[in-house]
Amino acid sequence: MTADLDDLLASEPLPPIDGDKKERGGALVVAGDLGCPGAAILAATAALRAGAGRVQIVTHPALATGIGIAVPETLTIGWDGQGAPDPELARRAREAAAVLIGPGLGDRAVDTARSIAQLVPRNTPVLLDAGSLPAAPDIRDHPLIVLPNTDEAHALADALGLDDRRPVQLATDLARRLAAVVAVRGPMTFLSDGQQAWQTAGHAALGTAGSGDVLTGLVTGLAARGLEPLSAAAWAIAIHGQAGSHLGGPEPRTGYLARDLLEALHAAVDQINLRIGSDERRARLA
């Protein structure tokens, strides 16, 4: 049986906003390739909006300057995934409070995920997205978060020999097999830590290119602030979904962009607070 996601949010409020940027944790976003630089911009901006104190982007060298200009609040590092990461990149991976690997990486995503994961301390949360998801079985020694859509979840299940395709059972089975927090995303999203499952409905406004990059950036930013992987995923899913509802309203309409979600995140948190009766002084984004 699944519980409503609001039950989990009410028991796990967002932390208060205090301290300086170093105390709010640093996120490392490994994202963007020549064909898809925007994914890095969306994910990194979402991590900042979620309150991460610092966000550093690792992307293709040809994109580093442009992405750095697009998101001037970040530090941007160029690496094409070929050869060993240089000492500076290795240091930043070791120091990050949370790491996201995958948005827009394309064909190099799996190898990049394996290379970066080797640099990250084992107690640091790692979130795999999109093309990096097949590397998940190799990264089970980290606190792992995966948020596949239905097709990606089925591909992971095939690789792991899992047969049950019911979304809630699929999320639970993947979470158990990967020792991870897993959310299978579709019209309904099912979140599981392998022991329990929660569900929430999405909104049609979320069905736009880049929406998933915003979601993964949110999770990473919240994890960098110190939320446990399950709480970070739950709050990110809820905020992302509420932002879609805030934009789309009761009647589904087209034309919303993923970047519009970024502008709706703070309003979404306020709306969630009202819905679950949370203390608004605590449950806020930065």
Mean pLDDT of all residues in 31-40: 96
**Residue 286, pLDDT above cutoff 60:** no
Mean pLDDT of all residues in 2-25: 83
pLDDT, position 281: 41
DSSP string, 195-232: S-EEEEE--GGG-STTHHHHHHHHHHHHHHTT--HHHH
Judged by average pLDDT, the poorest of 6-20, 88-102, 108-122, 204-218 is 6-20
Judged by average pLDDT, the poorest of 35-49, 226-240, 249-263 is 249-263
Judged by average pLDDT, the poorest of 60-69, 217-226, 273-282 is 273-282
pLDDT, position 20: 63
Higher pLDDT, 254 or 242: 242
Higher pLDDT, 223 or 275: 223
- What band does 60 get if pLDDT is binned at 50, 70 and 90? very high
pLDDT, position 282: 46
Mean pLDDT of all residues in 15-35: 85
Q: Put residue 106 in one of left, alpha, beta given phi > 0 → left and psi -120 to 50 → alpha.
A: left
Mean pLDDT of all residues in 244-252: 79
Please state, in angstroms and rounded to a whole number, the distance separating the CA atoms of residues 7 and 44: 28
Please report the beta strands in 109-159, taking only residues with DSSP state E, as ranges in sequence order.
Answer: 126-128, 144-146
pLDDT, position 280: 44
Beta carbons of 283 and 266 less than 8 angstroms apart: no
Please state, in angstroms and rounded to a whole number, the distance separating the CA atoms of residues 76 and 87: 15
pLDDT, position 277: 82
**Other CB atoms within 10 Å distance of the CB of residue 271:** 17
Judged by average pLDDT, the poorest of 5-19, 24-38, 134-148, 151-165 is 5-19
């919303």: which residue's tokens?
256
Judged by average pLDDT, the poorest of 50-54, 142-146, 282-286 is 282-286
**Residue 63, pLDDT above cutoff 60:** yes
Polymer length in residues for the chain: 286
Mean pLDDT of all residues in 188-201: 96
Residue pLDDT, tens place only, 84-98 = 899 999 999 999 999
Mean pLDDT of all residues in 164-172: 95
Please state, in angstroms and rounded to a whole number, the distance separating the CA atoms of residues 145 and 251: 32
High-pLDDT (> 70) share of the chain, %: 94
Please state, in angstroms and rounded to a whole number, the distance separating the CA atoms of residues 286 and 277: 20
DSSP state for residue 137 in the 8-state scheme: G
Average pLDDT, the chain: 92
Homologous superfamily assigned to 2-276: Ribokinase (3.40.1190.20)
Beta bridge partners of 127: 100, 145
**Residue 124, pLDDT above cutoff 60:** yes
Letter string b/e over residues 180-198, b meaning 16 or more CB atoms within 10 A of that residue's CB? bbbbbbeeebbbbbbeebb
Tokens of 264: 């709706």
